[in-house]
Amino acid sequence: MSKNPPKSPIERKLDIAAQREASMSWQVFRIMSEFVEGLDFLSKVEKPITIFGSARAKPGEKYYELARATASALAQAGYAVITGGGPGIMEAGNKGASEAGGNSIGLNIELPYEQGTNAFVKRGISFRYFFSRKFMLDYSALAYVYLPGGFGTLDELFTVLTLVQTKKTDVDVPIVLMGVEFWQPLVAWIQSSLVERGLVSAADPQLLHLTDDPAEVLRLVKQAGEREFGED
């Protein structure tokens, strides 16, 4: 008796979709709608700055409070603060912006058994799919600020680095690493393991700006705005 040939990855996904009472075609339309809604939402945000970092940081901890202070400084200067809308560093960013009376925005992800949007988001939108949310977080910000975090934060960092390196986005956009003690070993590894082996160019590490000073972040953001828009 012959065995049925193994199913392809797409066929297996179709089976999973059928079990969830949703066809693959319907999922494609839902993905399209998330991109349309997300881009429309972001098109109405002026001077956006995206802040990334661990969802596990707690109020009172060093990097939570650093994110809060940085977001506050940015909001007071008229910039909109965008985060993933969840807890930890995301909450700290939204809290700092909200307390400063600024535009506090959250792009949340729908997850089972996880808490929803944090209480400091003034305007928000939720996504079903990680990749559509990730695109929106990485899309058209004037600067990207990274505080210590795990795999998700690193994924976002290297995605933006790749986009800037390959000139698929604005090459002058600041990529700021806050938490020098945390990030310095990674930058040293990039230098020793990537630059020295010729896997990236010698100039690529210069795309990263390390600082623990919110005022320096604001200076970098304003400098980028002057180059692109002639802002004062």
Place of tokens 């990263």: 208
15 part of a folded domain: no
CA of 205: how far to CAs of 50, 71, 177, 212, in Å? 20, 25, 12, 18
41 part of a folded domain: yes
8 part of a folded domain: no
9 part of a folded domain: no
10 part of a folded domain: no
Q: Is 144 left (phi over 0), alpha (psi -120 to 50) or beta?
A: beta
Q: How confident is the model at residue 48 (pLDDT cuts 50, 70, 90)?
A: very high
What residue spans of the chain are helical by DSSP H?
9-19, 24-43, 62-76, 89-99, 130-137, 151-165, 180-189, 214-229
- Angle, vertex CA 61, rays to CA 57 and CA 66, nearest 5: 90
Helix or strand or coil: residue 190? helix
For 64, the domain range is: 22-225
- Please return the burial class of 227, using the count of CB atoms within 10 Å of its CB with bins 0-12, 13-18 and 19+: exposed
CB–CB of 24/55 below 8 Å? Answer: no
- What CATH number corresponds to the domain at position 158? 3.40.50.450
Supply the angle between the helices 130-137 and 151-165 in degrees, to the nearest 10: 60
How many domains in the chain?
1
At 8 the pLDDT is 75
64-81 pLDDT, tens digit each: 999 999 999 999 999 999
Whether 24 has a pLDDT exceeding 80, the answer reads no
Mean confidence (pLDDT) of the chain? 89
17 part of a folded domain: no
Query: What pTM was computed for the model?
Result: 0.86
1 part of a folded domain: no
Tell me the β-bridge partners of 125. 107
230 part of a folded domain: no
If you average pLDDT over residues 31-48, what whole number do you get? 93
If you average pLDDT over residues 159-180, what whole number do you get? 92
Hey, how many other C-beta atoms are within 10 angstroms of the C-beta on 176? 21
192-228 pLDDT, tens digit each: 999 999 999 999 999 999 999 999 999 999 988 766 6
